[in-house]
Chains A and B, each alone.
Chain A
Amino acid sequence: MIKMIQLVMLDVVKNRTVLAYLLLLSTLSWSVFFLEDSSTKGTLTLLNLMLLMIPLVSIIFSSIYIYNSSEFIYLLVSQPVSRKTIWISLYLGSVSALIVALFIGLGIPALLYLPLSIALYLISVGIAITATFSSFGFLVASAFRDKAKGIGVSILLWLFFAILFDGIILLLIFQFSAYPIEKAMIVVSMFSPLDLARILVLIQLDVASLLGYTGAIFQLFFGTKLGTIISAIVLLLWAVIPFLLSLKIFTKRDL
């Protein structure tokens, strides 16, 4: 298993896309910190950029990676290696390459410019989102044989979670504004890994007070240890469940 992960990591690191991703992330984060003088503003700008970029790159990269590795997979499947091992190694290998890029590109400048706790929050949220959207990518690649279709579905998934979901939430808030929906909003936010990630970081900043009553409720829930643990677990589930589904599909699929 460890050998397999090494093989995949070597393969992914050689991939130029990961290098380009690293360069893009570092350009963005360095320029944000040079341009913004207040660290809170910088964090927010960076957070918003992160929540758009990381999911897009993770989901597209991982699904294309699987499609392009079809020969590699084909070769391995006839060897004495279980399909489970192959799939898990592919996942861990590609996710860890993306995480290394994230850490160098975004983590290092964040650690230099931001207070330690906030930088660590940003990095861990970034890692969680990388893992989640890579799982989505793997799920798409295992469910659709056709590459074009798979990439299309990946983009749609990203669009849904990065943009459409927030629109739906806004609509709900306006529709039910006469009711006390603050607590329900906590539950709804669990349905989107990106919103969960955003709230987890926002709560750490002073700007949470600007969110009004909802912000206060959020602070009451997400600000506590229990709330943080629960939301971390939910984020983890968002990464694990799609991956397990894709594993199930892959181990039963005809090649």
Chain B
Amino acid sequence: MIEIQQISKSFGKLKVLQDINIDLPKGACIALIGPNGCGKTTLIKILLGMVFPTNGLIHINGKSINKDDMYRAQIGYMPQIGRYPEQMKIEQIFEMITKLRTSGNNIDEELFTAYKLNEIGEKKMRTLSGGTTQKVSASLAFLFNPNILILDEPTAGLDPLASEILKDKILKEKNNGKLILITSHLLSELDDIVTHVIYMQEGKIRLYKSIENLKTDTQSQSFSKAIANLLKADSHD
């Protein structure tokens, strides 16, 4: 569904991404993990067209993304830190984005209702706590039933109840055959969700495997243990 070909990005002398080549298939739920500053967020921003790669191409459903901006109608994006116009009320944000995405014939308000955002619709974005802002971001990402979901640290800042709701929603959408890309540092959170894992380090892809392969390769029971074993093995080399 998403083909990333030879993507490189440098900010001045700093090489953030070096020759990234991956195919992300439909129906996969992919964990994008790696230490801080390894280029995860930059890769996501390139997928969204917020940052332009120095080299390389990205195709989504066979179409190059730098030709037509409408490809973003297929993507729901939940940023790591949601930045919203401070003066706008929650309901105004939703109204505005809904107006912009008129193609939204089937609007999915499940998260919006589950997080009871309609009850606080009058509140201004400036007055919201970090967690509530994350709830707004999550609801916006799922609102238009996109085929691709990109979630950057989705559960960071959410209370246990809210993050449980979000995880259930992610599982549900995965079973609907959507492509989901998640970055997270909390490996245990991802355990029962993800089907593939990408491990990035210093702007390069160290590993791209399905969970089954990973578990058998490292002889571990769970995803988090498998990754931990892998990292240990890596540091012994």
Contact = CB atoms under 8 A, between A and B. Distances in A.
Contacts of A69: 85
Interface size bracket, A side = 20 to 34
Given A4-B100, A74-B83, A83 B52 contact: no
Contacts of B70: 80
A71 B85 contact: yes
Interface residues of B, number: 27
Interface of B is mostly: mixed
A77 B50 contact: yes
B201 to A, nearest CB: 22
A254 B69 contact: no
A252 B52 contact: yes
Contacts of B228: none
Interface string B63-88: 00000011111010101000111110
Interface in A67-81: 69-72, 74-81
A255 B45 contact: yes
Given A71-B83, A71-B84, A80 B50 contact: no
A80 B73 contact: yes
Contacts of A79: 72, 97, 100-101
B79 A78 contact: yes
Given A254-B50, A254-B51, A81 B100 contact: yes
Interface in A39-78: 69-72, 74-78
B4 interface: no
Nearest to A254: B51
Nearest to B42: A254
A225 interface: no
B71 to A, nearest CB: 7
B49 interface: yes
Contacts of A74: 50, 83
B52 A77 contact: no
Interface of A is mostly: helix
A143 interface: no
A78 B47 CA distance: 10
B233 interface: no
Contact of A78 (B77, B86, B96): B77
Contacts of A11: 85
Nearest to B49: A77
Given A77-B49, A255-B50, A83 B69 contact: yes
Interface string B161-185: 0000000000000000000000000
Contacts of A70: 83
B74 to A, nearest CB: 8
B211 to A, nearest CB: 28
Contacts of A81: 69, 72, 100
Nearest to B11: A254
Residue in A14, A74, A83 whose Cβ sees the most chain B Cβ within 10 Å:
A74
25 contacts: A3-B100, A7-B96, A7-B99, A11-B85, A70-B83, A71-B85, A72-B85, A74-B50, A74-B83, A75-B83, A77-B50, A78-B48, A78-B50, A78-B79, A79-B100, A79-B101, A80-B69, A80-B71, A80-B73, A81-B69, A82-B69, A252-B52, A254-B11, A254-B50, A255-B45
Given A70-B83, A78-B72, A79-B72, 20 more contacts: A3-B99, A3-B100, A7-B96, A71-B83, A71-B84, A71-B85, A72-B85, A75-B84, A75-B85, A76-B100, A77-B50, A78-B75, A78-B77, A79-B101, A80-B72, A80-B73, A81-B100, A83-B69, A254-B11, A254-B51
Closest 3 CB pairs of A and B: A80-B73, A82-B69, A80-B72
